[in-house]
Amino acid sequence: MTTPEFRPDGPSPALARAEAALRLLSEPPVRLDAAVKRLGRGGGVYAWWAAPSVLPDLPGPPNASVPSLRLLYLGRAGSLRARILRNHLRRSGSSTLRRTLAGLLLSEGYRTTWTDRVVLIPEDETRLTAWMHANLQLTWAQDAEPVSVEATLVRRLHPPLNVSGVDPDHVQPAVVAAKKAYNASSHPPAES
């Protein structure tokens, strides 16, 4: 992780909030079974972490407390609990993280279908959730205005699974390709 940026008159309030969030996100990541019991309903930012052997071609910055884990994705939520439980751990149709992971794992037989968009079939939604529980860990920081905190931290940390808000030099081509492959894996039914 990077060191705080200080100005002679002290950090701006927005920068101070980002620094506070970064300290919490840099704590030891929590296994998902435990995290889902501890997540609050308030807004904030969250970070997904994994060992380097998980998606090894996508390096991310190490966790400051557990350097054997690296950052994969950073997001924001109006309700941390709802975003993680209802979207990221349940439905590919409403989770950029799930769609990206599914695209990266298509070669492992993940299957999609078309609803009003491309989604995993129900059995593979369940399978991806199990994969996430087995391979990913989570940290989070509550914040009443998570949009600016997320933008600051994404620009600073360059999480490999994030595309939006990342400096173009740090966007991972494999992630862009995975998103395209996922989106091309199912199409709307042809009209008769």
The confidence score (pLDDT) of residue 2 equals 45
Residue 124 three-state SS: helix
The confidence score (pLDDT) of residue 17 equals 94
**What's the gap between Cα 136 and its chain centre?**
10
The confidence score (pLDDT) of residue 189 equals 73
**What's the gap between Cα 31 and its chain centre?**
15
Determine the residue type at 5.
E
Residues 153/61, Cβ–Cβ less than 8 Å = no
Q: What is the pLDDT of residues 27-72, one digit of tens each?
A: 999 999 999 999 999 999 999 999 999 999 999 999 999 999 999 9
Residues 71/60, Cβ–Cβ less than 8 Å = yes
Instruction: State the pTM of this model.
Output: 0.90
Judged on CB neighbours under 10 Å (0-12, 13-18, 19+), 39 is buried
Residue ranges in the chain modelled with pLDDT below 70 = 1-11, 190-192
The Cα–Cα gap between 39 and 41 comes to 7
**Pair type for strands 70-77 and 137-142:** unpaired
